[in-house]
Amino acid sequence: MNTVETVRAGVDVAGALAGREAGAQDRFLEEHSAVVADAMADGFTRRCPDLAAKPGFARWQVVALGVAVTAVVALVLFVPLLALALLTVVVTVYSLLQAVVAAAGLRHRRPGAAAADPPVPDAELPFYTVLVPAYREAEVIGGLVRHLAALDYPPARLEVLILVERHDPDTRAAVLAADPPPFVRIVQLPPGPPQTKPRSVNLGLMLARGELLVIFDAEDRPDPAQLRRVAARFAARGERAACVQAQLLFRNATGNWLTRQFAMEYALRFGLALPGLERLRLPIPLGGTSNHFRTATLRALGGWDAWNVTEDADLGMRCAAMGYRTETIESVTWEEALDAVGPYVRQRTRWYKGFLITTMVHTRHPGRTLRRFGPTGVLVLLGIVAAAPVTALLQPVLGALTVLALTCPVWSSTGAGLVLPAAAAQVASIVAWIVITFVAARRAGLAAPWHAVFSPLVTLLWSVAAWRAAHQVAFSPFSWEKTPHRPTTD
C-alpha cells in the first residue's frame, strides 16, 4: 500500500505508538515514516476539517474580504474625512478593549497567590511529558537541556522528548554534548511538509506517556518548580481545566531599545492581558511555549493544526470553543528577546498571519462560531485576535489621513468638525497604551519602565509586519519564517 491507501485503510498511527517502549516507537517511526509524516501533517485536517487551516477561506469570506477592502479604498479616496472617523473608531475601540482587559488583569490576583494551590506529594505527582521542538537550535539547546535536568520534579515521573528534524544533525549533537539525563530522549522526525512547530509537536503528542504535557522552546529557561506548581493547579481544578499558561519574560530585556520594548510587551501580555481574560472568563489565545495540558484533553481536542502558523492561539480558542478552561499561573519561563529589526519583523509577520488564519478558521460558519464561543468569545476572536493585525494594517492609513486632515488646505472645511475629535481620540489611545505598558513593566519588575513612553514607536514595525502578513496570507499562507536564537549566559 502507498501512504494514502494505508491512511484510508484506517491505520491508527497514534494508537500504534501509544504505550510502546521507546525502542519500539523508534522502529515504528523508521519503518512507517511516510504514514507517520502524513498523520503529523494532515491528521488534524482529516479529523476536524471545519477547524483546520488547510481548506482555506470559505467563498463568502473571500467575497466579504473583497467588499471590505474595496469599501475602505473607496472611502479613503472619495470620502477621506469619513474614512478618518471610521478608522479612528476601530483603533479606539481596540485600545479601549485592551485597557479593560489589562485592568481586569491588575485585579486578577497578587503575584505569588498561586502558591495557595495545595502541593501534590511526590508519590502522587502525575507522569509529565515535556516536548521540545528544536530545529537549527544547536547554539541554545544545550542550555535548555541543563535546565531541564535541574527541574524540581521526580525523574522517574518525567520524560523529555526533544523533537529534531532528521536533516539537522547539529542540534542532535548539541543535545548529546550537554550530557542529558536518562529521561531525555531525542526523537528524529520523519521528513515532510509543512516544516512547522505544530507538525513536530503532533508527533510528540502521539508518543507522550505523561498524564500532563508541556511545550518548551529551545531557548527557554523555565522556573525549576514550574511543573510542580502546575500539577498542583490541575489537581485543585476540575476536569474542564484543559490548560495552564505560564508567564513568559525575557532574560535579555536590557540588551537594547528593541529588547526593552519587546520585554514590556510580554509583561503586558502575560502579566495583565491573559490574566485579565481569565478573570473575565473569556477565551485565552495561548503563547507558543510553557502551556501545560492534560494530555487526554489535548488529544480529545485533536492536537495542533500543522498548517496554522500560530497553532498556540488557535488551540487556545479551540479550547474555549469546546467548553474547556484555560488558566494562567505566575511561574515564569525566561526567553530570549529578539534584538534586531529584521528577525523581529519576520516573527511578528508570522504571528499576524497566524492570527488572520485563526480568525478565518473560526468564522467559516458564523452560526457555529456564535454557538461555540457565545457573544463574549466572538468579541475576543474579532476584537483581540483579528484586531491586532487589522489595526496594525490600518495605522499607516489612519496616520496619513490624520496628517492630511490637519495640514491639507484643499479638504472641505465642512468636515473640520471631525478632524480634531479624531486626532484627540488617537492621542488618547496612545496615552492609554503608554500607561498600561508602564504599569505592566513596573509590575513585572522590569528596569526603567519609563521606556514605555517609546512604545508607540514600535507599532511602526508592527505595521510593516502586518502588511507582510497580509501578502503572505494571499500567496504563502503556510510558510514558516524561522526565528533565530543566539546563545546567552544561562
User: Does 290 map to a domain?
Assistant: yes
| 333 contacts 220 by C-beta, under 8 angstroms | yes
The pLDDT of residue 4: 40
- 105 pLDDT tier (thresholds 50, 70, 90): very high
Q: Predicted confidence band at 488 (pLDDT cuts at 50, 70, 90)? A: low
**Would you say residue 486 lies in a domain?**
no
pLDDT value at residue 5: 43
pLDDT at 2 > cutoff 70: no
The answer to the question of residue 347 being in a domain is no
- Are residues 333 and 414 both part of a single domain? no
- Are 182 and 292 contained in the same domain? yes
Distance CA 357, CA 54 (A): 10
The answer to whether position 248 is within a domain reads: yes
Average of pLDDT values for 257-272? 97
Answer whether residue 222 is part of any domain.
yes
Number of other residues whose CB lies within 10 A of the CB of residue 56: 15
- The reply to whether 331 and 371 lie within a common domain is no
> What confidence score (pLDDT) does residue 384 get?
96
| Residues 307 and 431 reside in one and the same domain | no
Q: Are residues 236 and 104 in the same domain?
A: no
Q: What is the pLDDT of residues 34-82, one digit of tens each?
A: 999 999 999 999 999 999 999 999 999 999 999 999 999 999 999 888 8
Where is pLDDT greater, at 483 or 19?
Answer: 483
CATH number at 201 reads 3.90.550.10
> Is 321 in the same domain as 277?
yes
Residue 418 lies in a domain: yes
* Residues 288 and 146 both lie in one domain: yes
CA distances from 121 to 125, 229, 259, 317 (A): 6, 12, 39, 33
Report the pLDDT value the prediction gives residue 420, as an integer from 0 to 100.
83
Mean pLDDT of 348-377: 96
Are residues 230 and 246 in contact, defined by beta-carbon separation less than 8 angstroms? yes
- Stretch 336-342: mean pLDDT, rounded? 95
Same domain (yes/no): 434, 335: no
Note every long-range contact of 166-172, with CB atoms under 8 Å and residues 24 or more positions apart, other chains counting.
Answer: 166/190, 166/191, 167/191, 168/134, 168/135, 168/136, 170/136, 170/138, 171/134, 171/135, 171/136, 171/137, 171/138, 171/141, 171/218
Over residues 6-15, mean pLDDT: 56
Q: Which domain holds residue 14?
A: 3-51
Please state the domain count of the chain: 3
Q: Is residue 349 part of a domain?
A: no
Same domain, 374 and 303: no
The answer to whether residues 233 and 294 belong to one domain is: yes
332 and 373: one domain?
no
Q: Given a cut of 60, is residue 110 above it in pLDDT?
A: no
CA-CA-CA-CA torsion sign (73, 77, 78, 79): positive
For residue 26, is pLDDT > 90? no
pLDDT > 90 in the chain, percent: 82
444 located within any domain: yes
Q: Are residues 197 and 154 in the same domain?
A: yes
Domain termination site, one of 279, 307, 341: 341
Mean pLDDT of 137-163: 96
